[in-house]
Each structure stands twice: as structure tokens, then as C-alpha cells.
Amino acid sequence: MWSIDRAYIDGAFVPVQGSERLEIANPATEQTIGTVTLANREDAKRAIAAANRAQPVLAASTKAQRIEMLRQLEAAVLARTDQIRDATIEEYGGPLARAQWVSNYASQCFATTAQALRDYAFERRLGEATVVMEPVGVAGLIAPWNAAAGSICSKLASAVAAGCASVIKPSELGPLQAQVVTEALHDAGLPAGVFNVLLGRGNDVGDEISTSPDIAKISFTGSTQTGKLIARAGVDTMKRVSLALSGKSATVVLDDADLAAVLPMALNAAFMNNGQACVAGTRLLVPHVHMAEAIEHLQAAVAAMRVGDPRDPATAIGPLASKAQFERVQHFIRRGLAQGAMLVAGGEGRPNGLGRGWFVQPTVFAGVHNHMDIARQEIFGPVLSAIGYGDDDEAIAIANDSAYGLQAYVFSSQPERALRVASQLRAGTVLVNRIVPELSAPFGGVKQSGIGREFGVFGMEAFLEPKTIAAANNFA
């Protein structure tokens, strides 16, 4: 049984002052596997103070020293990759391949950030001025449960590269991942206070971070709803705010694409992480003329998907993270039916043979109109909506007719045509004939999917602020 009752403050694991306890359950079995005692505002204040004490030294560190810190963090997290993977599987049922990818990414992001830092010019001349990129100050890093390790490590990498000490608040719904990652980060041996980690409620610890005058910057990943609360809470102290938010991504299959080759990838884009991914491509745009054939491919592919024990390498889809997630998905499946969408795979309830655990049936709707709730709202489960279109312009218009704009996917056999469509899609990232991201390139959303970018040089710049120094030529 896990018992997590410490926060990481000023370089040490210390008992939290908060007293609220939550049970941690394995979503594949619904069995309790431990408890977590949440930190409170007093703990957050201590963590913020520790980060502020560390800030001047970190801000004054050289590029070489920061690269060395990133190298130490990379090595420490790499050494715990398997533990991070196992915690991801145990805590929210991430299937093995995805959990492995996420835990590899947790160490890789330190390496990609170190590379960006190596090549970065902190000082440049513009006209008669020298412009210096300075650390913005102490940062609050607030992470979701569905990408805990990756989100924590990627934000921390950018903050350290820029010279910002941080207070990290992982989701209270991801305590195992947070604990294992924090133990790894501690092993890196960074100076005390450079980063501090505490698990607490959003409206308590999260709010303390968002409103504290001693936090200069918030880097948040989570839902659009919470992002707005944080942006509002931060404005009184004029915080710099980066928000990586929800999505409802479109996958555009052009009429020249080889359906047999691309639809498995499109399904993967929709159902990755059991459908609990911000970048899930949950609106599948298929030409009307190919829709019947596409449905047959999708039905066959879904029928071949194994739902079950997330530790089994043969499993494609594990359980959803919680009962709340399970019920949310059931609600949307009922909503799709009520609004007239055609169920072509899956449906309500658990898959046959799985009586326990928050397992849902991978579900595909066809005949979906883009105005239906299942096409407009983020479901956060393995539910795909196939939407028909006439020509490329209509596909672009449907893809762009969304409140969100995080990621989009285009599949085609003609590179120039695919790139023409990609250039017209309103999304922070467009992946063409692939679903694997480029980790050195900026990642973030347009519209309701967020403000600002993460990863690589753009991620680091989100923690920097330019200062202009223009001196007269003569001091006489």
C-alpha cells in the first residue's frame, strides 16, 4: 500500500501540514492501493518562500551550469523510467506502450531543452540597444493527471533552462506519478529550493500559487475551464501565464489517402492514452464518397482492439482513470445517440467480460454533424466521431469550426496537397501522415486550447522576459 504524506520543499521531503486524505485506487480493479495526504495553503507558502530564496542564485547561474543541471535531471529521471511507467499504469491505467513512451519522454525533454539552451543567445543587439533575455522569476507549474510525468518534467526543464525556480503542483489525482517523479528529481541533487513539489487541491494550493505576489509566472496544463480561473486569479499580481488546455482535434483524411494504411493511425490518434489525451484526434473527417469503406475499416480495427489489463503488451485500451471519467464517457455516448449519430462500433456500458474496472467500449459514431455535442466537446475517452465532407475546402471549414485548436492531423498521398490543407488549419500543431510529435518544436493551442507554447526554445522563452538597455554613445 502506498502512503504519500510528504511534500518536497527546500530540497527535502517534509510532512505536509494539510490533513485531507484521499484514497488512491487502481482503475483496472477499483481496489484501493494507498492514500495521499494533501498539502494545504501553508505548505504552498513554505514552498513559494523556498523557491524565492533559491531564485537569485539560479537566475545568476551560467548557461553551462544550467546545462549541467538539465543533464543531472535527465540522468536521474532516466534511471527511474521503469518506475514512472509502472506508476502510470497502476494509477490511471495507461496502456503499456503509451506509459513507456511517456516515461521515456520525461527524461528526453531535459535533453531537448539542454540542446535548445546550448544554441540560445540570451543577449542580442537591436538598433542601438542591447536586449537581454532575463528569467521572469519564480514560476508555478500546475500539471494535470493524464500526462503527469511528462508535464512536470517538461515544464521544469524549461524553467531551469531559463533560470526560474519553481513550485510544482501536480494533480491531486496523480499522486503516485508525482511521488515517483519527485523522488527521481530529488536524486538529481540540484540546489535546495530550485524546485519544490506539493500535491494539493486546485482551489487551495493551486489558488495560493495563482494569487501569490511571490510567483511571477504560471505554466498551466489542464482543462480550459481551470485555465480561465487561473488566468483571472493571476491578473491582479500581473503574472505571466502560459495555458496548455483542452482540445477537440480534427483528423482530415483526404480523398487520395490509402484508407487501409491511414485509418489505423487515425484510430490511434483518437484512442491514445485510452482517449484521455489533449491531442486526441476525435473528429475524423472522411470524404462522403469513401465513408462506407472507411466505416468497414474502422469496425474491423476496433473489433481487433484488445481492451483490458493495461500491463499486458497486447492491450490497446486500458480502463479510464476514474468512475467520474467512466460516467462522463457514458454520458457522451448517450448524447451522441440522442442527437442522432449512428453507432458503428462500441456503445454504452463495459466491454463483455470486464465486470470490474473503469473499462469502456472503444466507440465510433458515423453520420456525425459537427454541431453535435460529441463533435464539439472534449469527451476524454475512446469515442470517435466520423464526419463526412465533400471537398478539401469543406473539410478545412469543418475542421476549423471548433472552439478548440490544439492539434490537427492530415492524411494524404500527395505531400503538396497535404501541406496546403495543413497551412489552412487553425491549430497549434498539424501532423501530416504521422501521429508522433516533434519534441523540439513548439507545442500549444490557439483559440480555447490555450495561450503560449511549450517545448524547446519556445518553451524556454515562455519563462524569459526581454530587457532593453540603450545607452547614449557618449557619457560626457
Q: Footprint of ligand NAD on this chain (CB under 6 A)?
A: 142-147, 169, 171-172, 202-203, 206-207, 210, 221-223, 226, 229-230, 244-247, 278, 378, 380, 406, 445, 450
Nearer to ligand NAD, 108 or 412 (CB): 108
Nearest Cα neighbor of 455 from 110, 103, 133 is 110
18: exposed, middle or buried (C-beta count within 10 Å: 0-12, 13-18, 19+)?
buried
Question: Least distance to ligand NAD from the beta carbon of 148, Å?
Answer: 9
CA–CA distances in Å: residue 203 to residues 150, 208, 356, 429, 435: 23, 8, 32, 31, 35
Nearest Cα neighbor of 37 from 57, 72, 13, 60 is 13
SS3 label, residue 77: helix
Nearer to ligand NAD, 26 or 449 (CB): 449
- Give the length of the chain: 476
Look at phi and psi of residue 152 and say left if phi exceeds 0, alpha if psi is from -120 to 50, else beta: alpha
Nearer to ligand NAD, 66 or 169 (CB): 169
Question: Least distance to ligand NAD from the beta carbon of 259, Å?
Answer: 28
Residue with cell 473503469: 358
Q: Which residue is nearest to ligand NAD (CB)?
A: 202
Residue with cell 460516467: 327
Question: Least distance to ligand NAD from the beta carbon of 41, Å?
Answer: 12
Question: Least distance to ligand NAD from the beta carbon of 202, Å?
Answer: 2
Look at phi and psi of residue 274 and say left if phi exceeds 0, alpha if psi is from -120 to 50, else beta: left
Look at phi and psi of residue 11 and say left if phi exceeds 0, alpha if psi is from -120 to 50, else beta: left
Nearer to ligand NAD, 247 or 362 (CB): 247
Nearer to ligand NAD, 245 or 431 (CB): 245
Nearer to ligand NAD, 27 or 308 (CB): 27
Q: What is the spatial distance between Cα 243 and Cα 150, in angstroms, rounded to a whole number?
A: 16
Q: What is the spatial distance between Cα 367 and Cα 344, in angstroms, rounded to a whole number?
A: 10
Q: What is the spatial distance between Cα 149 and Cα 268, in angstroms, rounded to a whole number?
A: 21
DSSP 8-state code for residue 351: P
Question: Least distance to ligand NAD from the beta carbon of 192, Å?
Answer: 24
Question: Least distance to ligand NAD from the beta carbon of 364, Å?
Answer: 20
CA–CA distances in Å: residue 9 to residues 51, 169, 207, 219: 9, 12, 18, 19
Edge-to-edge strand ranges of the sheet holding 123-126:
123-126, 129-135, 464-470
Question: Least distance to ligand NAD from the beta carbon of 278, Å?
Answer: 3
Question: Least distance to ligand NAD from the beta carbon of 25, Å?
Answer: 16
Nearer to ligand NAD, 67 or 143 (CB): 143
Question: Least distance to ligand NAD from the beta carbon of 8, Å?
Answer: 16
Nearer to ligand NAD, 294 or 329 (CB): 329
Nearest Cα neighbor of 338 from 373, 378, 377 is 373
Nearer to ligand NAD, 358 or 389 (CB): 358
Nearest Cα neighbor of 122 from 132, 114, 136 is 132
Phi, psi of 191, deg, nearest 5: -55, 145
Nearer to ligand NAD, 135 or 450 (CB): 450
Question: Least distance to ligand NAD from the beta carbon of 247, Å?
Answer: 5
